Amino acid sequence: MEFPFDVDALFPERITVLDQHLRPPARRPGTTTPARVDLQQQIMTIIDELGKASAKAQNLSAPITSASRMQSNRHVVYILKDSSGRPAGKGAIIGFIKVGYKKLFVLDDREAHNEVEPLCILDFYIHESVQRHGHGRELFQYMLQKERVEPHQLAIDRPSQKLLKFLNKHYNLETTVPQVNNFVIFEGFFAHQHPPARKLPPKRAEGDIKPYSSSDREFLKVAVEPPWPLNRAPRRATPPAHPPPRSSSLGNSPERGPLRPFVPEQELLRSLRLCPPHPTARLLLAADPGGSPAQRRRTR
């Protein structure tokens, strides 16, 4: 991916790490330094173009990575450049990976809810002309080292088929733990309960965490799936050919693969009837319809 300005001078290192401040890295000694504002504008252009290319590669209706989204989130983007064979040129960008910590509710093997804040893979793209050349792995590996995480500690925001194959091939990640949100986690996620996949204190105010709205891809949604547990998908040992395993999560966007069909109304009602009533509801059903004031207060 080439740009009308000197990418090689802008990013002296092969991999550049940028946070929400989008600060231009220090330049190599001897290179002319344009105004800082111009450098930042160049960085913003690169991020916007990478975001667009990634969205196109994933069939998304809009980019999930842009300079303005970077500035308003605490995400980190790792950008891989290519300066080989272009000593007289301006260099090129090979791809990027965007990561960030997110508060999530995730289910463990016993289907218990856990509040965690893992590092999430939010967007990942290598230019089409150089995919399957090992660049993705180089970038991913660098990110793992810098963030000090193991691959099984990550949560992945609706991985594409290519990414699932990539994770399987390079990191042996295969068996997923079924979830009800957009994120995919793999077996071993709960094996080490040390940061960064830290369990949060058990008691938190309701509404503090919005587990179903924390995906970066949420804004792409045009339809809503039925609520848990009607949208549960079985655990898959290997990534299926079709559709992508994002079907195990809530809020899949149609842009990146077909939504699972809505549960027909009759089936929905049958499932609801099968759900045992909550103990409090049982108490209320058994009680006088008026109930005591204390009871009414508890109910509220």
Residue numbers of the site for ligand ACO (CB under 6 A)? 57-58, 121, 123-126, 131-137, 156-157, 159-160, 162-163, 165-166, 169
Tokens describing residue 202: 């058990």
Which residues in 3-30 are b (16+ Cβ under 10 Å) and which e?
Answer: eebebbbbbeeebbebeeebebeeeeee
Tokens describing residue 292: 């005591």
Give the residue with the Cβ less far from ligand ACO, 24 or 212. 212
Give the residue with the Cβ less far from ligand ACO, 16 or 65. 65
Is 113 part of any known ligand binding site? no
- Residue type for 45, please? T
Is 167 part of any known ligand binding site? yes
Smallest gap from Cβ 58 to ligand ACO, in A, equals 5
Is 100 part of any known ligand binding site? no
Smallest gap from Cβ 52 to ligand ACO, in A, equals 12
The answer to whether 90 and 2 have CB atoms below 8 angstroms apart is: yes
Is 207 part of any known ligand binding site? no
Smallest gap from Cβ 84 to ligand ACO, in A, equals 15
Give the residue with the Cβ less far from ligand ACO, 45 or 141. 141
Tokens describing residue 77: 């983007």
Give the residue with the Cβ less far from ligand ACO, 136 or 178. 136
Smallest gap from Cβ 91 to ligand ACO, in A, equals 18
Is 214 part of any known ligand binding site? no
Q: What is the DSSP letter of 180?
A: S
Smallest gap from Cβ 223 to ligand ACO, in A, equals 20
Which residues, at least 6 apart from 236, have a Cβ–Cβ distance to it below 8 Å?
175, 176, 245, 248
Is 162 part of any known ligand binding site? yes
Give the residue with the Cβ less far from ligand ACO, 42 or 215. 215
Q: Please count the residues of the chain.
A: 300
Q: Give, for 79, the enclosing helix (H) or strand (E).
A: strand 76-82
Tokens describing residue 55: 């969205």
Q: What is the DSSP letter of 218?
A: G
Binding residues for acetyl-CoA: 124-137, 160-169
Binding residues: 124-137, 160-169
